[in-house]
A and B are shown apart, each in its own frame.
Chain A
Amino acid sequence: MNEHEDQANFAAAAPVERVLDRFRPIGPPPALRQRVLDAALAGPHAAPPRRIALWVWRSAVAAGLVAAVWLSLAGDRIAAQVAGQVGVGPPVWTPQAEETAELLDGQGAGRRYLAMLLQAGPLQPQPTALPEIPADGGLTPSR
């Protein structure tokens, strides 16, 4: 760079430098002294974590909720698609199935088990005849 270029640069820089000269970066806030000394004496492992703005936490929670709802809906849809593809439909509650559920335990685990069986296909309209149960429940030993 020759002398003329230097002078031209100097002349062009002067107005910007004048603007810069009118400002300074801010100084440390008074509370920082205590914070720094406390953190320094507490040691590197006890130093408080970097402050994360509240909006970051809020956004993270909101994103988590949206993801949970989406996953739940997507899960239901995927389950329905898979069931359709493998030919497993929703349980068909015929009067006969209802009757069987009542015989098992009405609304509890028996009904749920029956629902699982029904998903594979409806109950046979003619169930196999059960053997007759004797009046004493078959507890008397036969001779």
Chain B
Amino acid sequence: MGSGSAMNGRDAAGRGENLRQALAGVYDACADGLFRYAVMLLADPAAAEDAVQQVFVKLAARGELGDIQAMKGYLRRAVRNECLSTLRRRSRRRAAMSARAWLVAASGSADPPPSELLRRDLERALKALTAEQREVVHLKVFGKLTFPQIAQATGVPANTAASRYRYALAHLRQLLSRHLESER
């Protein structure tokens, strides 16, 4: 009986280690994209950390993890749902957002590095958009998805995704007018 419980303990420890390795594999493959998606939706890196953590806690609670490629869609939907819940709670509680910077210069850009002023103004302009508009901007500009793909990811018709993108860019154009004029 004693050796049986010791074996059970070893089995549990082994299962825990397996789960940890599997989770670490999923995290390494997906966390970067998930976190950037959450940052863009929430416009708040601290809240994005919490959202990603919650998604992995729920994933671990499921017990078994599938193929990483197959899980990417599930995880993106889970992060999206978690972010939308966070936004609902935030609007109810009027919670303060963290003041940490959440945009960085793109490393592969051919243009000279953008100014700090432009970065701050773009962050402010993106914050002024709705979460749905920020989401479409993220998926289109940073994720390089087409509108039908965005429609599938967000569960809205492609026309709605396209019009959200159009409104978002029009709003950004207004808010960033001084930068856009100086760059002409």
Contacts and interface: CB of A to CB of B under 8 A. Distances in A.
A75 B143 CA distance: 62
Interface stretch (A29-37, A86-94, A104-112): A29-37
Interface residues of A, number: 33
A32 B103 CA distance: 18
A15 B141 contact: no
B71 interface: no
Contact of B172 (A16, A27, A28, A53): A16
A40 B60 contact: yes
Interface in A113-140: none
A50 interface: yes
A12 interface: yes
Contacts of A47: 53-54, 57
B102 A17 contact: no
A23 interface: yes
Contacts of A35: 49, 53
A56 B114 CA distance: 35
B51 to A, nearest CB: 10
Name the residue in A19, A23, A25 with the highest tally of chain B Cβ atoms < 10 Å from its Cβ. A25
Interface stretch (B3-11, B35-43, B150-158): B35-43
A22 B35 contact: no
B103 A24 contact: yes
Nearest to B107: A24
Interface of A: 9, 12-13, 15-29, 32-33, 35-37, 39-41, 43-44, 47, 50-51, 53, 56
23 contacts: A13-B169, A15-B173, A17-B141, A18-B183, A20-B122, A22-B109, A22-B118, A26-B36, A26-B103, A26-B104, A32-B31, A33-B24, A33-B27, A35-B53, A36-B31, A36-B56, A41-B16, A43-B57, A43-B61, A44-B61, A47-B53, A50-B50, A56-B96
8 A-B pairs with least C-beta separation: A40-B60, A28-B35, A25-B36, A25-B39, A40-B56, A13-B169, A23-B103, A20-B141
